[in-house]
Amino acid sequence: MLTKIENLSEYFLAYEKSVANPETFWGRVANQFFWRKKWDKVVDYNFEKADVKWFENAKLNITENILERYLYTLGDKPAIIWEPNDPKEKGITLTYKQLFEKVCEFSNVLKKNGIEKGDRVIIYMPMIPEAAIAMLACARVGAVHSVVFAGFSSSALADRVNDCEAKMVLTSDGNFRGAKSIPVKEVVDEALEKCTTIEKVIVAQRTKTEVTMKAGRDLWWHEETAKVDTQHKAEEMDSEDMLFILYTSGSTGKPKGVVHTTGGYMVYTQYSFQNVFQYNSDDVYWCTADVGWITGHSYIVYGPLLSGATTIMFEGVPTYPDAGRFWEICDKYKVNQFYTAPTAIRALQAFGLDPVTPYKLDSLKVLGTVGEPINEEAWHWYHDHIGKGKCPIVDTWWQTETGGIMISPLAGLTPTKPAYATLPLPGIRPIIVDAEGKELKGNGVQGNLCINFPWPSMIRTTYGDHQRCIDTYFSTYKGMYFTGDGVKRDEDGYYRILGRVDDVINVSGHRMGTAEVENAINEHPLVVESAVVGYPHEIKGQGIYAYVICDTEGRTEASLKDEIKATVNKIIGPIAKPDKIQIVPGLPKTRSGKIMRRILRKVAENDTSSLGDTSTLLNPEVVDEIIKGAQ
Ligand code: WTA
């Protein structure tokens, strides 16, 4: 590949060029793709209006850059290797040629069932090959996919369907996860009671459990694909046409639909994939994320497939049938690049070395982490026991909104330092500002992380509400994209991400807006008010601590807490269930009625020695009671 960086001095050179002349730099990278028509201008932007365009007026279809592009050169190479939940079940390998056929076939199914360019399609599916096929088929016909993590509840699913006014849902009968078989279609049925825009639901068969099929609306995947052929001409898309919407949590209660467009996302996910992981043509790459999150979009599906890579999709969980499952899969497929989340590493570390030692792990060349800060202890365990001291760790910092990896070592090229994401990728210009937005120049500084120049895969808007995009990302600091993260730049110029500085917490690598969890808790009829904060959690990184004011109406505290957890489970899903709930007589409030979260955070962290000034509180007496009742 022309733009693959092969040593550290090439990285510095590429970085310099990308800053000195971004148009030439990205134009050269983009030239490696297949465009039906090239762009008039590489980049145009106005951050104050959150208006960003890459490869203006260029025409393409992203799937032609995966399927047609590799058909003759890599047709028989495995594109997707699917490993089922149960190791005794046979996996599935799809070569590039087979993937091409399956995507075309399903594109025809979408068209036949009324999907047109620009329509929104919800994908609510477990980790089965059909999920990736569905995404690519949407992209091929020009429909906008919005994948909703299959662990979300029916009410969270309904909110997303309604927000983007989707026309179709793609789903499965059920989902195998560890020892459990979980209903999926049933959740869709419940959600759709609250939706009016869905015309068709297509159901892939996985668990073969019985499901209700609504006449005129619900169709079976295998029956529909049997009716169409495997030829399909891809729709022509503009570079700035929407590729997908992915909902994510922010500081306010309502999830926002982060919008990514076609050309820039394609260029950047491929470029970052090949450089960060230093992928070589015969390597086998495995990212353990779920396609319901951005990591699954960019680094299971698009980035690897655009690079002609072999990408593994794993249906199951790291601890089933035992805590050696990841390592068993690494040996089975001779995985070369392995990419996971710190929470998974910590969870597996807790089992000790017995589940690791039976495996050779000698194919591994690169280890990656993503989603949350990795603590040094987990970094060393990963490095020593999984990488056997010889695999570089790429600690990749990025976000749903950034579309691709922003700050990360390039594997084997950038010298690493535990817990540091190290240096920005070419084209990425991080700057650190203080609370007032003043740039903190030089090394040895700490503040809020912003990016002050566009990059190709950045967020374009929040679906249906552009003002929200401006307010959330481009208004805190004028002329800059604000990430919401705190950061330190050390004496070597290396970046270390310190975590969120807004009301977002990071639970097992999943982003959770505290307001969203509070809204869910408040749905319980006896709850008067609640406040949610994060606290350090050994495995999850951060746990959810909820302070709740409620009437007990004769119930015990324990049963009330169970009911509150069940409410959150129903409204959002199991990932948002509070780890700790404390029933409190009141919440510390300022005279203007704002909850003083700083105090609640300190109590949750069990650090009440320095609560700071509480004299401005309306109800200072409540603080002592909260401390007394702390969990
Ligand atoms: C956090 C996941 C430290 C960060 C790709 C960010 C990280 C949020 C790292 C985005 C990392 C992600 N080190 N923190 N390597 N990677 N984060 O949108 O707080 O699910 O803002 O995207 O995760 O989470 P999201």
Cα–Cα dist 62/263, whole Å: 7
Q: Are 534 and 540 in contact (CB under 8 A)?
A: no
pTM of the predicted protein model? 0.97
Strand (E) positions, 490-630? 495-500, 504-507, 510-513, 527-537, 541-550, 580-583
Q: Tell me the pLDDT band of 3, cut-offs 50, 70 and 90.
A: confident
**Residue 150 confidence (pLDDT):** 97
pLDDT in tens, 525-559: 999 999 999 999 999 999 999 999 999 888 999 99
- Residue 55's alpha-carbon distances to 270, 457, 556, in angstroms, are 16, 11, 61
Task: Quote the pLDDT of residue 2.
Answer: 63
Could you report the per-residue pLDDT of 31-40, keeping only the tens digit for each? 999 999 999 9
Per-residue pLDDT reduced to its tens digit, 597-608? 999 999 999 998
Query: Helical H runs in 459-513?
Result: 466-469
Average pLDDT, the chain: 96
Q: Is the CB of 500 under 6 A from ligand 1?
A: yes
Q: Determine the residue type at 6.
A: E
Is the beta carbon of 511 within 6 A of some atom in ligand 1?
yes
Residue 484 CB less than 6 A away from ligand 1: yes
15-31 confidence digits (pLDDT tens): 999 999 999 999 999 99
Task: Answer yes or no: is the C-beta of 294 below 6 A from any ligand 1 atom.
Answer: yes
Residue 616 — very low, low, confident or very high, per pLDDT cuts 50/70/90?
A: confident
For residues 133 and 46, give the distance between their C-alpha atoms in angstroms, rounded to a whole number.
35
| Whether 121 contacts 138, CB under 8 Å | yes
Domain edges within the chain? 505-629
With a CB cutoff of 8 Å and minimum separation 6, the contacts of 352 are none
pLDDT tens, residue by residue, 293-344? 999 999 999 999 999 999 999 999 999 999 999 999 999 999 999 999 999 9
Query: Which of 302, 239, 267, 269 shows the shortest CA–CA distance to 30?
Result: 267
Question: Exposed/middle/buried for 362, CB within 10 Å: 0-12, 13-18, 19+?
Answer: exposed
Question: Could you identify the residue written with the tokens 């009968």?
Answer: 173
Q: Which tokens is 245 given? A: 């919407």
Distance CA 188, CA 201 (A): 9
Quote the CA–CA distance of 162 and 198 in Å, as a whole number. Answer: 9
Which residue, among 385, 364, 399, 379, has the nearest Cα to 285 in the 3D structure? 364
Name the residue at shortest CA distance from atom 6 of ligand 1. Answer: 399
User: Are 330 and 283 a contacting pair, CB within 8 Å?
Assistant: no
d(CA 520, CA 601) in angstroms, rounded, equals: 20
User: What is the pLDDT at residue 254?
Assistant: 86
Closest among 488, 508, 288, 511 to 399, alpha carbons compared: 511
Would the pLDDT of 418 be above 80? yes
DSSP tag of 63:
G
Structure confidence at residue 1 (pLDDT): 58
pLDDT of residue 252: 81
Quickly tell me which residue has 């076609």 as its tokens. Answer: 262
Atom of ligand 1 nearest to the CA of 510: 20
Establish how many alpha carbons lie within 13 A of residue 498's alpha carbon, considering only the half-sphere containing its beta carbon.
Answer: 14
Question: Is residue 65 a contact partner of residue 33, using CB atoms and an 8 Å limit?
Answer: yes
Distance CA 1, CA 306 (A): 12
Task: Kindly state the average pLDDT of the residues 391-412.
Answer: 98
Q: Whose CA is nearest to atom 5 of ligand 1?
A: 399
In tens, the pLDDT along 484-498 reads: 999 999 999 999 999
The per-residue pLDDT for range 115-169, each reduced to its tens digit, is 999 999 999 999 999 999 999 999 999 999 999 999 999 999 999 999 999 999 9
SS3 451: strand
Q: What is the pLDDT of residue 614?
A: 81
- Homologous superfamily of domain range 505-629: ANL, C-terminal domain (3.30.300.30)
Find tokens 């990302």 and name the residue. 473
Task: Say which residue, 614 or 369, is predicted with more confidence.
Answer: 369
409 lines ligand 1 (CB under 6 A): no
Gap between the Cα atoms of 131 and 116, Å rounded: 19
Q: Is the CB of 379 under 6 A from ligand 1?
A: no
Contact 84, 91 (CB under 8 A): yes
Among all chains, which residue has been given the structure tokens 């990408």?
Answer: 311
